[in-house]
Structure 1
Amino acid sequence: MGMKELAAKVAAEHADIPANKVTALVRATLKALHQELTDTTEKTVKLPPLGSFVLVTKAAGEDDGEGRRKVHLRLSKPKDEAEAAEGAPAAKNAEKKAAKAASPERAAKKAERQAGKADKQAARKAAKAQKTES
């Protein structure tokens, strides 16, 4: 898709804005994005609705005088798919947590751990008291 096709597509969706204004706006937006990617020293530039741009700089070769810089775009998932993908594991995890919390075996293990901790602390205090007496 070229600049003209992109501007025409946006202009068709927004009939209240003149086509020449849409073209100018698209050009200005892409120019600002290009400038940001050119000037930045960060390895990743995130643009939430689109994705993230990963900047890779390769060292100069023997013949070349300068290093090469490449920009990779990692597109973000569409919102519908992202929400659906995130929603299923979240519900599954909530069910697992609820099942674990209600388990009597879990409560018994927890009480056992706490008793063990209390015994260790008592032993440490006794050893410390015995040390100070000597």
Structure 2
Amino acid sequence: MTQETLNEELTDLVPLVRRTILTLLAVVLAIVLAVAGIRYVQAADPYIQEVLERQGDQQRGQAIFQMNCAVCHGIEATGEVGPDLRGVSDHRSKVSLIKQVISGDTPPMPQFQPSPQDMADLLKYLESL
């Protein structure tokens, strides 16, 4: 292989290497922004931050669930009018669950903002499902 051929092959590789590096940087940036976004949401909302700082009590959470949520989600959280909530914490973050409960953005679920301790208890119960 001549020096000229080697230079041509290296020149052909430059755009590929550049694209690969830019793609990797874009992926890393997307991950950093996603993580920063979650932290920003948590820090930006004092209610969410207070809930996340508290230790939940599963038994109290179950009682709160049965009083406020069981009519639609079923006494065992298996779903009625509302969806089955078993395993919900496996695919939804705590922040996402808090927002779901307090927002009222998905009718017929009403807007509901329990005290921070009650919300922490409810999260603990949902994690146990």
* TM-score interval, normalised by the smaller of the two chains: under 0.3
TM-score (norm 1): 0.26
TM-score (norm 2): 0.27
The structure number with the bigger radius of gyration is: 1
Q: Answer 1 or 2: which has greater helix percent.
A: 2
Query: RCO greater where, 1 or 2, for CA within 8 Å and sep 6 or more?
Result: 2
